[in-house]
A and B are shown apart, each in its own frame.
Chain A
Amino acid sequence: MSDSTPATGRPQTPLPQPTELSKPYWEACREGRLTVQRCKSCDGYVFIPQPCCGTCLSEDLEWVKSSGKGTLYSFTTVYRPQQPTFEVPYTVIVVELEEGYYMLSNLIGVEPDEIKIGTPLEVFFEERSEEISLPFFRVRAE
């Protein structure tokens, strides 16, 4: 695919509106880095962004780089779109990251009947606006 064509072919889809809490996450995405909050008190990872650690309620959280590597935990290929600007079919996934946290994304570049839970995945970014680059996932060669 060329650099000017979004991998998903649907640049008009709704974009995240960063909050005070999530601003560091989306700023890192814009720079091509996947990040996650980590608790300095108990080392637990926190995603989606929260004001405190879900284990010990400490507010002493830091943003750290995630490997962006994970495996496919679950998926659904969608044929009836959320809104007409989504081009169907598209595949929504839950990724289990190496660090042990989970995130939602889209899987790009795999035919619906070839998708398998457990497949190794890696993150890649696609610019959607000046402010937002979205973290998508593709199959990772092991």
Chain B
Amino acid sequence: MKSPYDGVAIVGAYNTVQAKQLPNWTESGLVLDAIRGALGDAGLTPADVDGVNVSTWVSQLSSRTVCQWFGGRPSWTGTSHPGIESVLEAAAAIQSGQAHTVVIATAQCGEYTERESTVSWTRPENEFVECWGLYTAAEFALMAQRHMHIYGTPREAFSEVAAAIRSNGALNPDAVFYGRECSPAEVENSRMVADPFRLLDCCITSEGGAAMVLTSTERAKDLDVKPIYVLGGGLDRQGMSYVTAPVWEKYGWVGRRAAEMTFEQCGLSTRDVDFAEFYDPFSFEIIRQLEAFGFCKEGEGADFVLEGRIRIDGDLPVATNGGILSYSHAGVVQLLQKPLNAVLQLQGRLAPEITLHQPKVALATNGGSGALFCDVMALGSEPV
């Protein structure tokens, strides 16, 4: 069975510096740094690029502006938001011959200065949401609370998830929380944010940029890189994020359709997945995704994680770079960094302590239950 994206390879993956704040950087500067880094990584030059997808949240940088940076040469511009959707879009453009070499980039900085409030991208302005004091943590907490009610999910499982992922970040010199080890007890003892989430259950906020380069497998053969293959992927959107009540029975398994599509496209199953770069905004979301995608039965995600299986030495390491709980969470940039980190891990380019032994298949996700969308893609060190 061939992947629908057969013939497409990821040949460049680059993260800029990530930090809680980058006061000396602009989003444009970060995007350029990321693009140069990813092209250099692939051994390509700006003249090789004929497709571009760049967007930023704060300064609203557009793909066509960035084409101008390239001297107006690229002919194809992507319109998808950064992340899995933009990678799938670029792969489809290459496969259909609309573009040969596509660079995807994004960056975010300079926005979060007023720390009395939660960061603005977490605050819904909607008239049926904002007045009740919701923000992202509360949205996801409403899902977690319902899951605990239905399945009796113990809080200690949340602490294990957060500790497991934060422990990966502690070993990653590129992580914002590098060196900050974390035990389940520390998570359990951190202050309450939005019940049942404590501070260390919640992702961090930071700034940074990232870029990825895709080309045909034909061209990849001439490059001095280990190409990574797009095996499959799909979207699962359930309307607008953060405007309506997050009702578990309606939206709790969001992403399942995308995972089923992904596995169907490449003929693989959960048993074939070596590690998972799951969206980790809050500890609970990992438990939910394990259940939604079929890594365990509904309601058994807590047992799965409490057996140590998502730890870096477990059979399904999750968020191997430390995820957005510890590595970096620069707004929309993390959406691209999920598949991007799968690439780095598959290429064996992370720090030795968090490098897995010759992994072949990765699953990456964007979005989760509180956001009412969850996209999924599979990447491999070999084509299927």
| Chain A interfacial positions (CB closer than 8 Å to B) | 13-19, 22, 47-48, 73-84, 86, 90, 92, 94, 102-106, 112, 117, 134
User: When chains A and B are docked, how far (Å) is the Cα of A92 from the Cα of B144?
Assistant: 13
Smallest Cβ distance from A112 to chain B, in angstroms?
7
**Leading 7 A-B pairs by shortest Cβ distance:** A16-B127, A76-B141, A74-B146, A102-B245, A77-B195, A83-B117, A80-B193
Smallest Cβ distance from B299 to chain A, in angstroms?
16
Contact B247 A18, beta carbon cutoff 8 Å: no
Contact A104 B149, beta carbon cutoff 8 Å: no
B248 lies within 8 A of chain A by Cβ: yes
User: When chains A and B are docked, how far (Å) is the Cα of A47 from the Cα of B137?
Assistant: 23
User: When chains A and B are docked, how far (Å) is the Cα of A112 from the Cα of B142?
Assistant: 14
Q: A79-B193, A112-B195 are in contact. Are A73 and B146 (CB under 8 A)?
A: yes
Q: Can you list 24 residue pairs at the A/B interface with Cβ under 8 Å?
A: A14-B130, A16-B128, A19-B127, A48-B243, A48-B244, A73-B247, A74-B146, A74-B246, A76-B195, A77-B192, A77-B195, A78-B194, A79-B193, A79-B194, A80-B118, A81-B117, A82-B134, A82-B138, A83-B116, A86-B133, A102-B244, A102-B245, A103-B128, A104-B245
Residues in B with CB closer than 8 Å to A77 are: 192, 194-195
B270 lies within 8 A of chain A by Cβ: no
Per-residue interface assignment for chain B, residues 162 to 201, with 1 indicating a CB less than 8 Å from any chain A CB and 0 otherwise: 0000000000000000000000000000011111110100
Contact B146 A13, beta carbon cutoff 8 Å: no
| Chain B interfacial positions (CB closer than 8 Å to A) | 116-118, 123, 127-135, 137-138, 141-143, 145-146, 149, 191-197, 199, 243-248
Partner of A117 from the list B133, B149, B197, B246 (CB cut-off 8 Å) is B149
Smallest Cβ distance from A98 to chain B, in angstroms?
15
Partner of A74 from the list B128, B130, B199, B248 (CB cut-off 8 Å) is B248
User: When chains A and B are docked, how far (Å) is the Cα of A77 from the Cα of B197?
Assistant: 10
Residues in A with CB closer than 8 Å to B247 are: 73-74, 94, 102
The listed residue with most B CB atoms (<10 A of its CB), out of A22, A104, A134, is A104
Q: A75-B145, A76-B138, A84-B117 are in contact. Are A92 and B132 (CB under 8 A)?
A: yes
